[in-house]
Chain A
């Protein structure tokens, strides 16, 4: 349970990070809060030749509200965002989901963007990004690009980030007057979700996003549905997610949770 050998680069500018990534490519990893990556290193599931520590870069530590979006930098820790005074007003869904991310002892170090880079299918922040329809802001030495949440997660622990790109931050929309709801079932509070669901009222109806079932968090939009039409839609969605049996729960239990929590949350946001 000790990490393999690697060079350690303490970046003092974004240029240092981008140069390191350009030179070392897939053999480099960006180290932020380390709450996922360090565990991967200790278990030797990751064996980079270079770690680039970005946590001394003040410019990545910003949370900025610009009109109808909030930009969260790569160095913003989960605890920083939880303590942001505008959180409940601007990003009510994030305010509901964040306390479910790990434990107080890991939120104090772990970053929002680090959780997205790790892309665990049952993690709360990827689910929230997909539910809100946010964007990931990527940058390499030559260019910047924005990737929509639904295109960012490519599979279990896989993302659309290229080897030479830094996740510079994310952009989340402030959706005025939107009611949000979040619920998760896990063996213990703070463990990875067996099923996590987020629901939001939209201009045309309702959106439900589900994590912990498919390889990537998945969102579905519906018009305002009620009664058996809603039950049928939830049942079809639960099957489409392709749940599998594992040591934590059966596929059927996961589908049950999607149907039951989905109905509860949709009722909550549409009432």
Chain B
């Protein structure tokens, strides 16, 4: 049993995009704030802070997770993936990110980090999604700029591209 006192800061350690990270947090500190303020990982955005808008969505141990509905203390020892982990290298975009760029699937970009994480996670398990499935997934996010249509287009394009690239390598 571990009991962390309310009025003290406690060490929190986990893996962030494959790298071990460590910081200090009071028990009440939200994971979204820990990522942004303690670790400087500001790619994860904070919108509504009650789990409705989806901007702060990340992946914790393979589960889509609202980081604003999660305490930093809860993810001790877990594996986290955030939007910073999507690009294959610092100067290149991933397939999904490229599709977003081509299709103008973002304008202000505030919701984009969360939507990218949801889509990245979903497409990994469902390589040939229908438009209806993408729409259902996106019901967990709010975008006030795009009207969603270009996001759906980008998701379907990225899925097709990922599926065809996988086919080529698996035939070998």
Of A8, A9, A35, chain B has the most CB atoms within 10 Å of the CB of A8
Across-interface contacts of A55 in B (CB, < 8 A): 74
Tell me the nearest residue of chain A to B118, going by C-beta: A105
Taken together as a complex, chains A and B put the C-alpha atoms of A6 and B29 apart, in Å, by 10
Taken together as a complex, chains A and B put the C-alpha atoms of A142 and B66 apart, in Å, by 36
A5 within 8 Å of B (CB atoms): yes
Interface window among A38-46, A128-136, A149-157: A38-46
- Check A8 against B3 for contact (C-beta < 8 Å): yes
With contact pairs A39-B69, A55-B74 given, residues A9 and B1 touching in the complex (Cβ less than 8 Å): yes
- Check B4 against A8 for contact (C-beta < 8 Å): yes
A215 within 8 Å of B (CB atoms): no
With contact pairs A3-B28, A104-B136, A105-B57 given, residues A42 and B68 touching in the complex (Cβ less than 8 Å): yes
Q: Mark A87-131, 1 if CB is under 8 A from B, else 0.
A: 000000000000000111110110000000000000000000000
- Check B3 against A7 for contact (C-beta < 8 Å): yes
Q: From residue A170, how far is it (CB to closest CB) to chain B in Å?
A: 22
- Check B3 against A42 for contact (C-beta < 8 Å): no
B71 within 8 Å of A (CB atoms): yes
Interface window among A10-18, A175-183, A197-205, A228-236: A10-18
With contact pairs A7-B3, A13-B1 given, residues A108 and B30 touching in the complex (Cβ less than 8 Å): no
Could you tell me which residues of chain A, from 1 to 35, have a CB within 8 Å of some CB in chain B? Answer: 1-13, 16, 31, 34-35
Q: From residue B30, how far is it (CB to closest CB) to chain A in Å?
A: 7
- Check A49 against B66 for contact (C-beta < 8 Å): no
B140 within 8 Å of A (CB atoms): yes
Taken together as a complex, chains A and B put the C-alpha atoms of A12 and B3 apart, in Å, by 11
Across-interface contacts of B27 in A (CB, < 8 A): 5-8, 51
Could you tell me which residues of chain B, from 21 to 75, have a CB within 8 Å of some CB in chain A? Answer: 26-28, 30, 33, 48-51, 54, 57, 63-66, 68-71, 73-74
- Check A190 against B139 for contact (C-beta < 8 Å): yes
Q: Mark B119-140, 1 if CB is under 8 A from A, else 0.
A: 0001000000000000011011
Taken together as a complex, chains A and B put the C-alpha atoms of A95 and B96 apart, in Å, by 31
B170 within 8 Å of A (CB atoms): no
- Check A34 against B69 for contact (C-beta < 8 Å): yes
A184 within 8 Å of B (CB atoms): no
B5 within 8 Å of A (CB atoms): yes
From B50, B69, B73, B140, A10 is in contact (CB under 8 Å) with B73
B172 within 8 Å of A (CB atoms): no
Q: From residue B10, how far is it (CB to closest CB) to chain A in Å?
A: 8
A189 within 8 Å of B (CB atoms): yes
Across-interface contacts of B118 in A (CB, < 8 A): 104-105
Across-interface contacts of A143 in B (CB, < 8 A): none
Could you tell me which residues of chain A, from 56 to 98, have a CB within 8 Å of some CB in chain B? Answer: 77, 79
- Check B137 against A108 for contact (C-beta < 8 Å): no
Q: From residue B115, how far is it (CB to closest CB) to chain A in Å?
A: 10
Taken together as a complex, chains A and B put the C-alpha atoms of A43 and B28 apart, in Å, by 13
- Check A109 against B66 for contact (C-beta < 8 Å): yes
From A10, A43, A51, B1 is in contact (CB under 8 Å) with A10
- Check A6 against B70 for contact (C-beta < 8 Å): no
Taken together as a complex, chains A and B put the C-alpha atoms of A42 and B66 apart, in Å, by 13
Taken together as a complex, chains A and B put the C-alpha atoms of A41 and B69 apart, in Å, by 9
Taken together as a complex, chains A and B put the C-alpha atoms of A53 and B118 apart, in Å, by 25
- List chain A positions with a Cβ less than 8 A from chain B: 1-13, 16, 31, 34-35, 38-39, 41-43, 49, 51, 53, 55, 77, 79, 102-106, 108-109, 188-190
Sorted from nearest, which 9 A-B pairs have the closest CB atoms? A103-B140, A8-B27, A1-B49, A38-B69, A105-B140, A39-B50, A5-B6, A108-B63, A10-B2
Sample 5 A-B pairs with CB under 8 A, ordered by A number. Answer: A35-B69, A42-B49, A77-B63, A105-B65, A189-B139
